[in-house]
Structure 1
Amino acid sequence: MSAIAQPFLAPAPRPQARPLSTPAFVWTAMRNPLAIWGERAYREPVLRDDWLRVPTVVVNDPAAIRHCLVDNAANYAMQPLRQRILRPMLRDGLLTAEGELWRRSRRAIAPVFTPRNVAGLAPVMAARSAAFAERLAAEADAAPRDVANEMTLLTYDILQATLFTDAIAGEPVAFARAMDSFLHRMGRVDPLDLLDAPAFLPRLGRLLGHRSTRYFRRLIAETAARRRALLAHDPDGAPQDLLTLLLRADGLTPDEIEDNIITFIGAGHETTARALGWTLYLLACAPAERDKVERELDERLPSLPDPRDWADALPRTRAALEEAMRLYPPAPSLNRMAIEADTVAGLEVPAGASLLVMPWLVHRHEALWERPGHFMPDRFLPENRARLDRFQYIPFGVGPRVCIGASFAIQEGVIALASLMRELRFDYVGARAPHPVQKITVQPRDGLPMRVGRCRVSR
């Protein structure tokens, strides 16, 4: 009798056995914020501590998360530390804007992400994913490639084809290199940010990242200028995509329009790229789960010519993607500041306190998940999904600021994963397990070196 395959334990930083000293905390947070957490953070529903003289409350309990981010969301503003890190990159884009500006931006963008419009983008997603898979197939069994980087190229191509109708200026490989530098330099926690130093003191990482920032700003300005010229020349012939909606939006300045474009080009493709890369890695390390996904694709894809049906008709493929986003949430932290005092799960939250809802912690919490560190996609099959609390799985956030592109990302992720795995097999060949680090998204520190080969059977 063959042994039953054991679930794969996904690599992650080891929880701290004891509280970090202030210097160790600053050093660890600068290198990898995922590594600051101690064992209590993965076991207790709420915690309070004073970090660098700031009262900080960490919320893991689903009911408490609902209270803070839904029922009493108006009491929790964007955390200043989060804004100090993101605003130099995104300025007044949707992720960093607040108040009336955020509401105007959200209203302007919302029509792109209606269910009907998102479904209409599925054929383009499938065509671009199939073309990408064909390119990889033509080079199959060649030298290992960094699949993390490959997924950046794929999701960039899908995003610029769907939301910008192939209008983004620039070349994809140059874009991928600039994006890597952008996130590496600009997305890191700087010690001066942790210490609440004055803004006029230079942050070394951001100074080094100015070249990539200038590249993106130049790219966006050129893209917007081209579309404005098209709208002036042929207003009825311009694509009705995100770019056109932003340029026609009432109440947004040219700078705010460019900030939202760079937000979607950057964050909009990076999160899905990370989800796809981690999914392929986890399936490579869990052959029994990979076999289940491949069988599903063999059996069902031939009768699913319309990719709009794939997200619902391929439950195992979708479950693998969602489980990967549980273990490696693309956005690992939701950071807020209490405007007025509050009580959360019996714990007093003073005005001005930092409130942290960490998908990284919630998704790996011992009270919420069986074997929380293991890759077990069955959790997300339809018959099991109903058992999950709405607020224990939050890869796209919750409440008024929930990710506007969540349905777009799920549809894109399932279509891309199915297109790649129906023809190709990905095997991890790194000398050691990848080390997840937080640089806005959860990234593999040294990439995901994988050998890409054709499947053993023709699909």
Structure 2
Amino acid sequence: MDMRPEPFEPPAPVPRVGIPSYLKIIRTVLRNPLELWGEPSYTLPWIETKFVTQRTLIVNDPGLIRHILVDNVANYEMSKVRRLILRPILRDGLLTAEGEVWKRSRKAMAPVFTPRHAKGFAGQMLRSSEQFVERYAGAQEAPFTTNVANDMTELTFDILAETLFSGEVAVEREGFVQSVEELLHRMGRVDPMDILLAPEWIPRPTRIGGRKVMNRFRSIVSETMALRRRKMAEDPKGTPQDFLTLLLEIEGSQGLSTAEIEDNILTFIGAGHETTARALAWTLYCVANTPAYREIMEAEIDTAMASGAEPVEWLGLMPHVLAAFEEAMRLYPPAPSINRAAIEEDAWTSPTGERVRIPKGIAVLIMPWTLHRHVLYWDKPRAFMPERFLPENREKLNRYQYLPFGAGPRVCIGATFALQEAVIALAVMMHRYRFDTTAETNPWPVQRLTTQPRGGLPMRVSAR
């Protein structure tokens, strides 16, 4: 008889039952889009729906996902609703740019994020994590409670600022975290006008006040660029050869425009760290509710650190730590939706002979949120089971059933960076401290560009 306890099922909306009215759909999307999805989204390989005049193909089948994101990627562009939400924030940053602008930006930034180059950041990631964890030193005397959602935002900002900008970002960390929260609250949500595909010039009621925080971010970026330009002019040899310098060195007609550089810096400062921050917080929460697995992680971390291995080696030495982070990203994907639209009519045939027609102009929605919890592709899909991602089990997973970083040409450029950062950060924190839930720890996932815990994530920190 199997006497093992049932695995932990962290909180998440249950599949909706029945067909909601238009008004209820709008209310749900405004409150939390993750609560919208019904039983078919978690059980069928694809579904076609219609809202007002917009037809949408919801895709879960890994083969069809590959067709859209890889095999026939040229036929799919960012959907209009996604553009309406993201472009006011990021404009022509790497996440939102299309066509030649995207190609230029991707080509320009690719050298910084190659796996070889990303490994070179390991030492800086370790130093930033060790400096950050000193804030928990008081737990040596007495445990205390902290909001780890905010803490992880500060930690990943510290790492991003140090690795890509050599610490020369024109903003204080404390004010930055508050600005990120306000930006996502005001600008990172779906507005009823977006759902109705209203023109961009029509005001979005939910984003009233958003322009002020956007201007604040733009001023941070402008000042950061100005500071670095002065250093490049005054002390070329002493200028850090980092991401910021690389972008400014290709400024001009043959590279990226000033506006495109500003958009990309904003994308990385404002959004590039946010996805990793959310995943780290959810990992600490899930691990706290899985004490047996946490002990395995702690032993793995202690062994690797005692060996004297360099941080660049930790990713390979800590498979259980990496697996916990990847499982947290499965349950709480940092980017819960991938939105495309068919430029021309298309079709795909499944291995069993079923034919899917994809009409011109139809919105195509690939939802990591539902895909990662889909009954056709996962055993106990709502449960936190990191062993799915241990090396001996990974070969069982289809490449296109797990999309925390997307797939195809637009796969997240910082995927290797993020995985290395996460393992180093978790190892440094968990080597010295334990994070446990409290009576106030009742997170509920909400979609605000990223998958966030509503109301934060208070956890008790104690010394190991």
Under TM normalisation by the shorter chain, which class is it?
Answer: over 0.9
In the alignment, the residues of structure 2 paired with residue 342 and residue 23 of structure 1 have an alpha-carbon distance, to the nearest angstrom, of 32
In the alignment, the residues of structure 2 paired with residue 304 and residue 87 of structure 1 have an alpha-carbon distance, to the nearest angstrom, of 46
Shift of 1:339: 0.4
Instruction: Please provide the CA RMSD for this pair.
Output: 1.4
In the alignment, the residues of structure 2 paired with residue 55 and residue 162 of structure 1 have an alpha-carbon distance, to the nearest angstrom, of 43
In the alignment, the residues of structure 1 paired with residue 366 and residue 315 of structure 2 have an alpha-carbon distance, to the nearest angstrom, of 28
Structure 2 equivalent of residue 424 of structure 1: 433
Structure 1 equivalent of residue 244 of structure 2: 243
Structure 1 equivalent of residue 198 of structure 2: 197
Secondary structure of 2:55 counterpart: strand
In the alignment, the residues of structure 2 paired with residue 52 and residue 253 of structure 1 have an alpha-carbon distance, to the nearest angstrom, of 39
Does residue 259 of the first structure (1) align with residue 263 of the second (2)?
yes
Preserved CA contact (<8 Å) 2:85 2:188? yes
Shift of 1:3: 4.9
Preserved CA contact (<8 Å) 1:430 1:449? no
Does residue 317 of the first structure (1) align with residue 312 of the second (2)?
no
Shift of 1:379: 0.3
Preserved CA contact (<8 Å) 1:5 1:288? no
Does residue 400 of the first structure (1) align with residue 400 of the second (2)?
no
Of the three residues 384, 393, 397, the one matched with 1:388 is: 397
Secondary structure of 1:236 counterpart: helix
In the alignment, the residues of structure 2 paired with residue 260 and residue 380 of structure 1 have an alpha-carbon distance, to the nearest angstrom, of 32
Structure 1, residues 408-443: CA drift from partner, whole Å, max 9, x if none?
Answer: 000000000111000000011143631100000000
Of the three residues 350, 353, 356, the one matched with 2:365 is: 356
Normalising to structure 1: TM-score of the pair? 0.97
Q: Extract unaligned runs of 5+ from structure 2.
A: none
Secondary structure of 2:236 counterpart: coil
Shift of 1:235: 2.4
Q: Extract unaligned runs of 5+ from structure 1.
A: none
Preserved CA contact (<8 Å) 1:43 1:367? yes
In the alignment, the residues of structure 1 paired with residue 87 and residue 139 of structure 2 have an alpha-carbon distance, to the nearest angstrom, of 40
In the alignment, the residues of structure 1 paired with residue 457 and residue 52 of structure 2 have an alpha-carbon distance, to the nearest angstrom, of 35
In the alignment, the residues of structure 1 paired with residue 313 and residue 302 of structure 2 have an alpha-carbon distance, to the nearest angstrom, of 16
Structure 1, residues 268-310: CA drift from partner, whole Å, max 9, x if none?
Answer: 1100000100000000111111111112112232114300001
Structure 1, residues 378-427: CA drift from partner, whole Å, max 9, x if none?
Answer: 00000001111111111000001000000000000000011100000001
Preserved CA contact (<8 Å) 1:304 1:310? no
Structure 1 equivalent of residue 463 of structure 2: 454
Structure 2 equivalent of residue 369 of structure 1: 378
Does residue 170 of the first structure (1) align with residue 179 of the second (2)?
no
Preserved CA contact (<8 Å) 1:184 1:439? yes
In the alignment, the residues of structure 2 paired with residue 20 and residue 431 of structure 1 have an alpha-carbon distance, to the nearest angstrom, of 32
Secondary structure of 2:208 counterpart: helix
Does residue 11 of the first structure (1) align with residue 11 of the second (2)?
yes
Structure 1 equivalent of residue 34 of structure 2: 34
Secondary structure of 1:144 counterpart: strand
Q: What letter matches 2:288 in structure 1?
A: A
Q: 1:430 to 1:69 in 2, by over 3 A?
A: farther
Normalising to structure 2: TM-score of the pair? 0.96
Structure 2 equivalent of residue 64 of structure 1: 64
Q: What letter matches 2:125 in structure 1?
A: M
Preserved CA contact (<8 Å) 1:430 1:448? no
Structure 1, residues 169-212: CA drift from partner, whole Å, max 9, x if none?
Answer: 11101000000000111001000110112222211232222222
In the alignment, the residues of structure 1 paired with residue 90 and residue 228 of structure 2 have an alpha-carbon distance, to the nearest angstrom, of 21
In the alignment, the residues of structure 1 paired with residue 255 and residue 120 of structure 2 have an alpha-carbon distance, to the nearest angstrom, of 28
Shift of 1:117: 1.3
Secondary structure of 1:375 counterpart: coil
Q: Which moved more, 1:226-235 or 1:168-177?
A: 226-235
Q: What letter matches 2:287 in structure 1?
A: L
Q: What letter matches 1:42 in structure 2?
A: Y
In the alignment, the residues of structure 2 paired with residue 336 and residue 398 of structure 1 have an alpha-carbon distance, to the nearest angstrom, of 13
Following superposition of structure 1 onto structure 2, how do residues 204-223 of structure 1 map, counting pairs within 5 Å? 204-223=205-224
